[in-house]
Structure 1
Amino acid sequence: MMLQHREDPMASYTGDRTIDGISVLVDGKPLSPHYDQLRLTEHGFEWSYEGPEPAQLAFALLYDHLHDATAAKALYESFMRRVVANFDNEWELSSADLDEAVAALRSGQTA
């Protein structure tokens, strides 16, 4: 199964937690929470633990990368537990990192 990608196959996703708050960017622009596809919280993004805000981030990252709500909904909980919950205060993911994570999650789902 081919993965669908953003128009820029080398997208860069970054997150930073500072005294001024949370920042999550894709190629330097704010990442949408994609509430129109799935609303898990009213409180935006978080990471480094398991919960609704990290789950929203997991879904948003997957949906933005895959452009497939069904796939993102199927994978976001595992992606949150295995990836987002383990982010440091500052983190960065590339499209290649997301491809690798999605492939690992999909292979784990069939095992």
Structure 2
Amino acid sequence: MVEQTDDTFELYDLRVEIICPPGERILCGAKPGDYFTLEGEMLHLPPGQGFSIYSLGAVLPLLAAKQRETHPNDWMSTDAEVACPDPHCKSRLRIIRTGKRSFSHGAVTVVPLSN
């Protein structure tokens, strides 16, 4: 049996930014350019800035997939904007891959790697 010693993997860091067509009203209290970042499993907001839980709920299911390497033909590789969950709001949430970060399997779980 060969023991696996390298248990590292990479995830993309993400920035999720509010965008809106000029002159349109954002209904969730955000401003164009408001954002949060995701580094591994940690979500970070700039000091003094909030983020609507409804907007977060719209984008949250996609973030784990956007953090991972995807095939160039996969829609997850090309589609980066999510509509605001309010049907009357024209804003969108843009997901941007900003860099890669390495993690150790052993640092994020107690479940052992199987060989």
Same fold (TM over 0.5): no
**Looking at CA atoms only, which structure, 1 or 2, has the larger radius of gyration?**
2
How high is the TM-score relative to the length of structure 1?
0.30
How high is the TM-score relative to the length of structure 2?
0.30
Name the structure where helix makes up a greater proportion of residues: 1
Name the structure where strand makes up a greater proportion of residues: 2
Question: More relative contact order in 1 or in 2 (CA 8 Å, sep 6+)?
Answer: 2
